[in-house]
Amino acid sequence: MAGYFAIFLVVLTLVSGLIWLIDILVFAPKRKVKVATAQAAAAGGLPLSAIEELEKPSYLAETAKEIFPLILAITIIRSFLYEPFQIPSGSMMPTLLVGDFILVEKYSYDVKDPVWRKPLITTGRPERGDVIVFKYPEQPTIDFIKRTVGLPGDRIIYKNKQLFIQPACTAADKSTCPGLEAVPLTLQAEGEFMDGELPTKRYSEQFGEHKHHILQHPFKAEDLMQYYKQPGTAIEEFIVPEGHYFAMGDNRDNSRDSRAWGFVPEENLVGKAVFIWMSFEFSENPDNWLPAWVPVGVRFERLGKIN
């Protein structure tokens, strides 16, 4: 849906700008001639109100003139700088909650045209630990948000709820390359977030200098049958191809991510999630008389930079 809205904005910008331009170049000069002719024909000249009426553009041209600068500014900001998104699911808990409204930095991973999404300016690539928004590979009309875990060339293993990473290495002497290492986990809290009636555990996870938090469900087993099977690898092993990334949700036992459908192509990247600008709380009480989509409060403490 976000892709369709981007196309709509571009079309609206072009149409309103074209209408305004045609009015300036074609119809405005004709109105001036009409005013001059009427003034010459009038004995004592035309009153100001009559001149203003003759010079007045059509309703369509006037509307285009008013909305074009605003629509152009929105299109530029949304296409090339920042785009707002709403978090619809709990797959990125505890980092992002349902009801969070975030800003995505569009120029973090290349500046792209808003219609065909072809790179215009190369700016950068995701780093391990970045929270990225991308077009879901299995249905590119849908935007997904996950955390970058694997970079091109990395070897990833996720086994018994433990993440292992062997970074890509291009050294001629392979003996100098780093080996497979477990990503450090430190238990922070238990029962802070619930999965139905069962408590989850919150851990801090460390990617080099980058620390973030994840959730694990101690009683939920990994469904290996749902894992993406990459040719030439074990069931829990993934080798990230060139030009692709391995992404996972922070809510590790409640996230459909690269473990299930594979890798994120570079061309599917939308941007980097950088800021929570609003966060609404919704009632989970079934006896609440308000509709489920009506917020019951604002979580001001959540506003700020995304880690």
Q: Which residues are known catalytic residues?
A: 91, 146
Q: Residue 42 has which token pair?
A: 């009038």
Backbone dihedral angles phi then psi of residue 77, each to the nearest 5 degrees = -65, -45
User: Is residue 291 reached through a cis peptide bond, with omega within 30 degrees of 0 on the bond before it?
Assistant: no
Query: Residue 191, exposed/middle/buried by CB under 10 A (0-12, 13-18, 19+)?
Result: exposed
Please give the torsion angle defined by the CA atoms of residues 67, 68, 70 and 76, in that order, rounded to the nearest 10 degrees. Answer: 150
**Angle ∠(56,60,66) on CA atoms, nearest 5:** 80
CA distances from 66 to 31, 56, 78, 282 (A): 19, 14, 20, 38
Provide the token pair at 3.
Answer: 């892709």
DSSP structure class, residue 145: E
Cβ proximity of 170 and 161 under 8 Å = no
Question: How far is 28 from 31, CA to CA, in rounded Å?
Answer: 5
CA distances from 130 to 21, 27, 71 (A): 43, 52, 31
